[in-house]
């Protein structure tokens, strides 16, 4: 018997969001050599967004928090920029399904009104 493993599904990480389209947005996803799963945390990078990479700790808290987004659905690897739907504010998400979450990312998302619930 063949066992199939299902990957991330669109918005699988999303527990609730604001009415209408308030929680969602659209960004330009920069070219990527790897496919990205729904729930990947994105950070601004040049003229678009790329997967978030943990920053060095800032003991003085002198760096302003960045505005992060959460990728709404899976995106294939692409040599070109592509549009991507994201969750950017006023939502509840499942911590265990977020990709790239660290303490700094969590703090930035909380400021944006994203509540991160335990699994």
Instruction: Inform me whether the pLDDT recorded for 105 exceeds 60.
Output: yes
Nearest C-alpha neighbor of 31 from the set 17, 47, 19: 47
Instruction: Inform me whether the pLDDT recorded for 77 exceeds 60.
Output: yes
Is the distance from CB of 19 to CB of 57 less than 8 angstroms?
A: no
Is the distance from CB of 32 to CB of 51 less than 8 angstroms?
A: yes
Instruction: Inform me whether the pLDDT recorded for 6 exceeds 90.
Output: no
Separation of alpha carbons 13 and 28, rounded Å: 21
109 SS3 class = helix
Nearest C-alpha neighbor of 65 from the set 5, 7, 114, 10: 114
Q: Name the helix (H) or strand (E) containing 103.
A: helix 103-111
pLDDT in tens, 26-39: 999 999 999 999 99
pLDDT in tens, 49-74: 999 997 666 666 655 668 999 999 99
Q: CATH number for the 14-52+64-117 domain, one of 3.30.360.10, 2.40.300.10, 1.10.760.10, 3.30.479.30?
A: 2.40.300.10
């Amino acid at each position: 018997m063949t066992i199939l493993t299902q990957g991330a599904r669109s918005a699988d990480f999303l527990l609730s969001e604001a009415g209408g389209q308030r929680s969602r947005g659209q960004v330009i996803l920069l070219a990527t050599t790897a496919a990205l799963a729904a729930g990947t945390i994105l950070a601004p990078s040049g003229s678009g967004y790329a997967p978030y990479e943990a920053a060095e700790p800032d003991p003085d808290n002198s760096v302003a928090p960045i505005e992060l987004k959460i990728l709404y659905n899976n995106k294939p690897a692409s040599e070109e920029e592509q549009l991507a739907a994201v969750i950017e504010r006023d939502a509840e998400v499942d911590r265990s399904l977020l990709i790239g979450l660290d303490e700094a990312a969590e703090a930035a998302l909380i400021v944006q009104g994203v509540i991160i619930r335990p699994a």
